[in-house]
Amino acid sequence: MEIKNIKKLQNGSDVRGIAQEGIAGETVNFTQDMAMKIAFSFATWLEKKSGKTALTFAIGRDSRLSGENLAQAVALGLVSKGNKVYQCGIATTPAMFMTTLDPVIQADGAVMVTASHLPFNRNGLKFFTRDGGLDKADITEILALAETIETDFTPGGKTLTYDFLPSYANHIVNIIREKTGKNQPLAGAAIVVDAGNGAGGFFVEQVLVPLGANTKGSLYLDPDGSFPNHVPNPEDATAIDHISRAVLNHHADLGIIFDTDVDRAAIIDEKGNAINRNGFIAFIASMVLSDYPGSTIVTDSITSTGLTEYIESLGGKHHRFKRGYKNVINEAIQLNSQGIETHLAMETSGHGAIKENYFLDDGAYLVTMALIKFAELHQVGKPISSFLKGLKEPAEAKEIRFKIAADDFKAYGERVLAEFKTFAANQPGWTIVNPNYEGVRISCDTSAGNGWCLLRMSLHDPIMPLNIESDSVGGCEIIETVLKQFLAQYQALG
């Protein structure tokens, strides 16, 4: 029975599923009826949490082909509780949170219909209140409630249409103008954007052009949920190649690439080199540490030792935590509550949240910060590539993902990690890194590969990722050889 499969849609703090046919072997498991029940449950949950009835909600969606129908289903689930709903159409995930702060909408809650960078047949839901994005436990509670609902959904509230992106874009423009002290701080600059046919195309005409930029050569700005050009993912090599070539072909000073729903981003320098992963964290961290000296910077677990050295060279403290953008953000919030000043939480994936921006996971805000620094450099004739001279990049980097073919894959993975830790403690040239919050991280000296490795469990899947970096050519192979000799004893790893 369909209703009993709703809990299976949970993906951490999001809802994700297959929303339409189109890929062989993948059957729809996220329907409009499910979306209605989940939305109804979100409204019920928020009524209880806030002590209010007759709430106001905003709904946005990315460009996915299933998005419009799912957004309508979400609206019906919300208005069936007697609530007011604003349908915002194509929008970004960060913009949906901002509707809770907007003086016009004043939303009590917001829903974004998106599946981030996943294939076109997938879709999902992200939820916000005025306190920020919902956590994993909140989603678990809402989905459990949704599986109990047996009701006819009849509109009992009011649905309005409101294009919120212009307000959100104006908010970004005003920040850049205020920080730079100029009405058109990007005048004379050539900037190209790759929106990947997602929701980020607005950034060209509604942000960059009003600030004076020449945006000729920008790519894939029109929303198209079939994603015909490349995966809309700032980590994807093909996507990076597209924006890098656009920068070079149009002699641009800067390139910007967004994911589908604009909560992740990366930038490209004038030479066509990507500033992403460790580089983008370093870029934003340097700006944060300029404004907030001594701040702690929280990152995910797979960041490099070079990033740690860079942050420390600027007087900051690097707190390497777990994978998962909500884990990183929540850790930063927790550190602040303990009196540890923490102004940035950022993942190598391009997710990032800043304290002054409500710790909202907001790729457009990260780009906003980058544009402020870019404008400052451009004013004195310096290229964007001149900014990260002190960041040491590894000579080699590699990730291997081992599938776990065991019924209880979590228990199996934990056993592997426990035994790996014992093995590592006795391995010449290896030092177990502490503190460490995810998996087992090893520092390898010059005799043992001159780098580091991290073996961990995937957050949700039966997979053990292994990340290796080395400061020497050939170092990754040295580290990998030892690791594979150890892992060969585990027949369920493949």
pLDDT at 3: 60
Please determine, for residue 1, whether its predicted confidence score (pLDDT) is greater than 50.
Answer: no
pLDDT at 459: 82
Residue 380: pLDDT band with limits 50, 70, 90: very high
Residue 460: pLDDT band with limits 50, 70, 90: confident
Question: Tens of pLDDT along 302-349?
Answer: 999 999 999 999 999 999 999 999 999 999 999 999 999 999 999 999
Residue 455: pLDDT band with limits 50, 70, 90: very high
Residue 128: pLDDT band with limits 50, 70, 90: very high
pLDDT at 155: 80
Question: Tens of pLDDT along 397-417?
Answer: 999 999 999 999 999 999 999
pLDDT at 238: 97
pLDDT at 461: 87
Residue 152: pLDDT band with limits 50, 70, 90: confident
Question: Tens of pLDDT along 430-454?
Answer: 999 999 999 999 999 999 999 999 9
0.75 cut: is pTM over it? yes
Whole-number percent of the chain with pLDDT over 70: 99
Kindly report the average pLDDT of the chain as a whole number: 96
What's the 3-state SS for the chain? Answer: CHHHHHHHHEECCEEEEECCCCCCCCCCCCCHHHHHHHHHHHHHHHHHHHCCCCCEEEEEECCCCCHHHHHHHHHHHHHCCCCEEEEEEECCHHHHHHCCCCCCCCCCEEEEECCCCCCCCEEEEEEEECCEECCHHHHHHHHHHHCCCCCCCCCCCEEEECCCHHHHHHHHHHHHHHHHCCCCCCCCCEEEEECCCCCCCHHHHHHHCCCCCECCCCECCCCCCCCCCCCCCCCCHHHHHHHHHHHHHCCCCEEEEECCCCCEEEEECCCCCEECCHHHHHHHHHHHHHHCCCCEEEECCCCCHHHHHHHHHCCCEEEECCCCHHHHHHHHHHHHHCCCCEEEEECCCCEEEEHHHCCCCCHHHHHHHHHHHHHHHHHCCCCHHHCCCCCCCCCEEEEEEEEECCCCHHHHHHHHHHHHHHHHHCCCCEEECCCCCCCEEEEECCCCCCEEEEECCCCCCCEEEEEEEECCCCHHHHHHHHHHHHHCCCCCEC
Please determine, for residue 175, whether its predicted confidence score (pLDDT) is greater than 60.
Answer: yes
What average pLDDT does this structure show over 232-260?
97
Residue 150: pLDDT band with limits 50, 70, 90: confident
Domains of the chain: 2-163 (3.40.120.10), 168-386 (3.40.120.10), 396-487 (3.30.310.50)
Question: Tens of pLDDT along 34-58?
Answer: 999 999 999 999 999 999 989 999 9
